Structure 1
Amino acid sequence: MTEDTRTTRDERATSETPSRRRSVLLFLRDLLVIFVVAVLVSFLIKTFLIRSFFIPSQSMEQTLVQDDRIIVNQLVPELAAIERGDVVVFKDPGGWLPARVEEEQPPVVAAVDWFLAFVGLSAPDSNDHLVKRVIGLPGDTVVCCNALGQMTVNGVPLDEPYVALPPGETKVSRDDFEVVVPEDSLWVMGDNRYNSKDSRYNTDTPLKGFVPTDNVVGRAVVVSWPISHWTFLDNYPEVFAGVDEGAE
């Protein structure tokens, strides 16, 4: 090998090193841009479109099982009206949930949880919200129970296939009641009727068990986890057929 050949190879290797370094830096830059865009898109989706919650109790069984994860459409009620039968997530109207003591976490764990919540990959505030089914809209008269153990809305008896009752029980509520839903409010109940602290249970709170529509975060549309529970959530329009006419 001549001296000229060795010199040429050394020069080529020297010139390739900055080029390779530049390629690595460009690759890392592209990765960073992709990551930032993904975080931003996830944040915007969580803030304005959909959001994830987990189910902390048995009050909506068998529709929702404890520890299920659900996807909530946040366009309801902002852009789409709440309908009877909707499964909705809402903030505690006051006095529905017991006071919670926040558990201290190591700084690193707390930071990771905050970031995952920020981009919508975790649901740390699920214990501060509730999930129930809408039975009564503003102006509705909700009564339970008739001679057949059914609930009526505006005088129309409801045949509720989603309700879970104890064995041998046919009455859809342990407690009898008659309410007229105020303006901008909802009457909500859990599907697990004998194990749900819903509007019936909270009539002694300041809002008498009614949920302000402003407290509604959105409508639950799908069970996303576990995979074995994956399903769209129905609002059973046939159950409430004729209720609007009954209000007239």
Structure 2
Amino acid sequence: MLILGAFNLFVGRLYLIPSESMEPTLNGCAGCDGDRIFVNKLAYLGDSSPHPGDVVVFRGPDSWNGSYTSQRSRNDVIRGIQNAASVVGIIAPDENTLVKRVVATGGQTVQCRAGDPGIMVNGKKVDDEFTEKPMSNPVDPATGSQACQGPYFGPVTVPQDNLWVMGDNRTNSLDSRGHMGDELQGTVPVENVVGRVEAIVLPFGRTGFVDNPDIQHN
């Protein structure tokens, strides 16, 4: 148990995808058998940091946690058992952990305005071939566009040591775009990142590595 606990704490652990916000890359929905993913906690050791295109698990900043409800029991004994089980990876940590794709990093400017061909970072369109198509929800042409895959936003210059993150299911994801009014302009501190998503472990029919492409290659 100690070895398993140390592995989960320092090396990596499994997480369950609870929603549809990262489809088609990661599957999850209410009442279905969501993907279980392996998150590599060693991916960003030392001078390494998340790159545009990486799929990351992170702890939600304070402004992202308004609707989070603890899943722990109010009974002290049961809660203690749950916390112990969390250490060895049997159940999830009691924190608002989310999974999104990094689109822009510190110092970069991200936007999607009327006339833009897609999400723009430093004036260039980022790759969006991995996003959900056709889109899950309609886009109001008065406030957004098909190219933006949702409402217009930006420009936002990402603070140093922060990330702009978005779901692959762009019209069904509450991500950086939905938190632009907070003190971080919707961005997420790098220190909040738990690790990089490397693979889908379960269900067996979907087992495989998760692609973390360079979306700013052009």
Is TM more than 0.5 here? yes
For normalisation by structure 1, the TM-score amounts to 0.73
User: Paired residue for 2:91?
Assistant: 122
2:74 is the counterpart of 1:144: no
Q: Residue 59 of structure 1 aligns with which residue?
A: 21
Q: Which amino acid aligns with 1:172?
A: C
Structure number with larger C-alpha Rg: 1
Match of 1:30 in 2: none
Aligned to 1:42: 4
- Matches of 1:47 and 1:166 in 2, distance apart? 36
Work out the number of aligned pairs and report it: 202
Question: Moved runs in structure 1, 4+ residues, more than 3 A?
Answer: 105-115, 145-149, 166-170
- The letter for the 2-side match of 1:116 is A
Structure 1 residues 54-133: aligned runs within 5 Å? 54-66=16-28, 67-79=34-46, 80-97=48-65, 98-100=67-69, 102=71, 104=73, 110=79, 112-125=81-94, 128-133=96-101
Counterpart secondary structure, 1:201:
helix
SS at match of 1:130: strand
Partner of 1:153: 121
Structure 2 residue ranges without an equivalent (≥5): 29-33, 140-145
**Counterpart of 1:22?**
none
Distance in 2 (alpha carbons) for counterparts of 1:152 and 1:42 = 42
State the AA in 2 paired with 1:175: P
Residues 46 and 203 of structure 1: CA distance in aligned 2, closer, same or farther (over 3 Å): same
Give distance in 1, aligned partners of 2:206 and 2:77.
32
- Residue 104 and residue 122 in structure 1: after superposition, are their counterparts in 2 closer, same or farther (change >3 A)? closer
Query: Does 2:181 align with 1:204?
Result: yes
Query: Relative to structure 2, which stretch is displaced further, 191-200 or 94-103?
Result: 94-103
**Unmatched 5+ residue regions in structure 1?**
1-38, 243-248
| Aligned-pair CA distance for 1:196 | 0.7
CA separation of 1:157 and 1:90: change in aligned 2, threshold 3 A: same
Amino acid at match of 1:61: E
Aligned equivalents of 1:61 and 1:192: distance in 2?
A: 5
More helix per residue: 1 or 2?
A: 1
Tell me if structure 1 keeps the 8 A contact 2:72–2:79: no
Q: Cα distance 1:42–1:103, how it changes in 2: closer, same or farther (>3 A)?
A: closer
Query: Normalising by structure 2, what TM-score?
Result: 0.82
Quote how far apart the aligned CAs of 1:201 are. Answer: 0.5
CA RMSD of aligned residues (A): 2.3
Report the equivalent of 1:31. none
Summarize the Cα distance change of 1:171–1:73 in structure 2 as closer, same or farther, 3 Å threshold.
Answer: same
| 1:226 correspondence with 2:203 | yes
Percent identity among equivalent residues? 37
Q: Which residue does the alignment assign to 2:31?
A: none
Deviations 1:66-96 (A, max 9, x none): 1221111111323332111001111111121
